[in-house]
Amino acid sequence: MESRAAVDDAALGREAWAVLDANWTGSATVPAPGLYPHQWNWDSTFVAIGLARWDTRRAGTELLSLLAGQWSNGMVPHIVFRPVRAEAYFPGPSVWRSRDHRSAPNGVGTSGLTQPPLHALALWWIWRYATDRDTATALVRRLYPMLVAQHDYLATVRDLGGGGLAAIVHPWESGMDDSPVWDAPLEAVPPAGTPYRRAESSEGRPGGHQDRYVALALRYRDSGYEAAYLRDEHPFAVEDPMFNGIWLASCQALAELAPVAGADPGPHRVAVERIRAALLERLWADGLFRARDLRGGGLSPVCTIGCFGPLLDRELPADHVAELVGVLESPRFMGAAGYPVPSCEIRAQEFDRSCYWRGPSWVNTNWLLRRAAAVHDLAGLVRVLGASTLRLVRQAGFRECFDPFDGSGRGSRDFSWSAALTLDLLADTVEG
C-alpha cells in the first residue's frame, strides 16, 4: 500500500490544519481542491465539528456561510456554489437554476437537493467545546431559528411516507451516493437522454447510475422543486436510516440548545420520540435498520454503514443497541476488515473494496459510529474506532476514503472532512 513514515500527533495536527487552510475560501471550506470547488452541506458540518474545539469563530463562519444558501421553505441545499469556477463541477448552477426559484436565496446559487441534517449536532458541538463562549452563544441564537425551519421542512415536505420519517429524493441527498442500497430504487428511474458529463475523474465510481442521477435531478427541477410533485410523482423516495438517525440526533441537540436561544425544548423532544418510534416501526428488520423504498420496493436487503445511523440516538432501547453493535463488530463489518469500518457488508454480493460507498472506509462515518458508541458508553468501541481512524490518516494521508483491507487511500487527496475530524479525534486523545 501507499504508506508514509509514521507521523506523531503534533505533526498530524499540523498537516490537518494545512489542508483546512488550503481549502478555506475565506468564509467556507471546500471538500477538496479541484474535484469539489464549492461548499458542500454535510462536509461543512464535519468541518465545523473538527474546528469546534479549536476555533469557535471559524467553525461558526463555516455553518453561517452554508446557511446563507438556505431556501425560504427551510431546505438547506447540498451545494452552495462559489461564483469562481462556477461550472467546474457538474451539475453546476446552470443545471440547478436555483436563481429562477422563488424559495431560493438571492445572490447565491445552490443545488435543489439537501444532505443529512447534521447541522444542529455540529452547532451543539461548537457550543459544547467553545473556546469563545460569547461567540458561541451569539451563534446559537442566530442559527437556532434557521435550524428549526430546516427541521420543519423535513417533517412536512419530506415526510413522503406519512409515518414520521424524512425521505430522501435522490442518492446525492444521502451523502453516500453510490451505496448499493440505491441500486434497486434507481431501477424505477428512466435514464436521462443526455449522457452524463463529468469533468473530473470518475475513478472508483460505479458507471451504471450516472444518467439516472441526472434524470432525477432534472425531473425535480422541471417540476419547479414542488412539494406536490415529490409526493405524487417523483420516482425516487427512500427512508434512509442514516439520514433519519442523524436527524434524530440533531433534534436531541436542538432540545439542548433551545434554552440558550430562549426557546422551548419541548417540541424537539416530541420530534425525537416520533422519529424513534417511526424508525423502530418502519425500518427495523432482522436485527438492523434498513432503508425503505417508498415507491414499492419495501425494505432494502443490503446491509451498509447506513444501517447503523439510529445508534446515534442515546435513548435507543438497549436490546437494539446490542444487536446493532453485534453486527458492527462481527466479520460482516469490522471483524474482517483490517481498516474498518467498510461502507458495505463484506459478504454482500455488491461489496467492492475500491468503489465509492460500496466498500471503502470513510473518516466521517467512522466518526459518526464513534460518536454513537460514546453515547452508549461503549468505551472499548470508542477507542477502537478512534485509533483505527487515526491509523488510516497517519498511514495514507487525508484521503477521501480508504481500502478497508490494506488501508490504502482512494479518491481525492487533502480531503477536508478527513482532516477536520482528525483534529477532533486528536483533541479527544489529548484530553484522554
Which span sits near ligand 9WN by CB under 6 A: 20-28, 35-43, 326-334, 347-355? 35-43
Q: Are 57 and 65 in contact (CB under 8 A)?
A: no
Question: Judged by CB, which is closer to ligand 9WN: 175, or 241?
Answer: 175
Question: Under the phi-then-psi rule, with left for phi > 0, alpha for psi from -120 to 50, and beta for the rest, what region is 302?
Answer: beta
CA distance 15 to 218: 40
Query: Closest-CB residue for ligand 9WN?
Result: 31
Of 12, 13, 19, 36, the one binding ligand 9WN (CB under 6 A) is: 36
With binding defined as CB under 6 A, does residue 204 bind ligand 9WN?
Answer: no
Exposed, middle or buried, 389 (CB in 10 Å: 0-12/13-18/19+)? buried
400 has catalytic annotation: yes
Grid cell digits, residue 281: 416501526
CA distance 291 to 301: 9
Grid cell digits, residue 381: 468501541
Of 31, 204, 309, 409, the one binding ligand 9WN (CB under 6 A) is: 31
Q: How far is the CB of 414 from ligand 9WN (least distance, A)?
A: 12
Exposed, middle or buried, 257 (CB in 10 Å: 0-12/13-18/19+)? buried
- Point out the catalytic residue in the list 55, 239, 400, 403: 400
With binding defined as CB under 6 A, does residue 172 bind ligand 9WN?
Answer: yes
With binding defined as CB under 6 A, does residue 40 bind ligand 9WN?
Answer: yes
Question: Judged by CB, which is closer to ligand 9WN: 164, or 360?
Answer: 360
Which span sits near ligand 9WN by CB under 6 A: 46-54, 125-133, 148-156, 171-179? 171-179
Question: Judged by CB, which is closer to ligand 9WN: 172, or 225?
Answer: 172
Site string for ligand 9WN, 61-100 (x = CB under 6 A): -----------------x----------------------
183 has catalytic annotation: no
CA distance 177 to 266: 34
Which span sits near ligand 9WN by CB under 6 A: 34-42, 54-62, 143-151, 157-165? 34-42
Which span sits near ligand 9WN by CB under 6 A: 61-69, 120-128, 169-177, 246-254? 169-177
Of 152, 177, 183, 406, the one binding ligand 9WN (CB under 6 A) is: 177
With binding defined as CB under 6 A, does residue 428 bind ligand 9WN?
Answer: no
Question: Judged by CB, which is closer to ligand 9WN: 38, or 292?
Answer: 38
With binding defined as CB under 6 A, does residue 43 bind ligand 9WN?
Answer: yes
Of 13, 175, 310, 359, the one binding ligand 9WN (CB under 6 A) is: 175
Which span sits near ligand 9WN by CB under 6 A: 37-45, 60-68, 214-222, 278-286? 37-45
Q: How far is the CB of 209 from ligand 9WN (least distance, A)?
A: 11
Q: How far is the CB of 217 from ligand 9WN (least distance, A)?
A: 10
Q: How far is the CB of 16 from ligand 9WN (least distance, A)?
A: 17
Question: Judged by CB, which is closer to ligand 9WN: 179, or 300?
Answer: 179
- Point out the catalytic residue in the list 177, 183, 226, 350: 177
**Enzyme catalytic residues:** 177, 400
Give me the residues that bind ligand 9WN (CB under 6 A), please: 31, 36, 40, 42-43, 78, 172, 175, 177
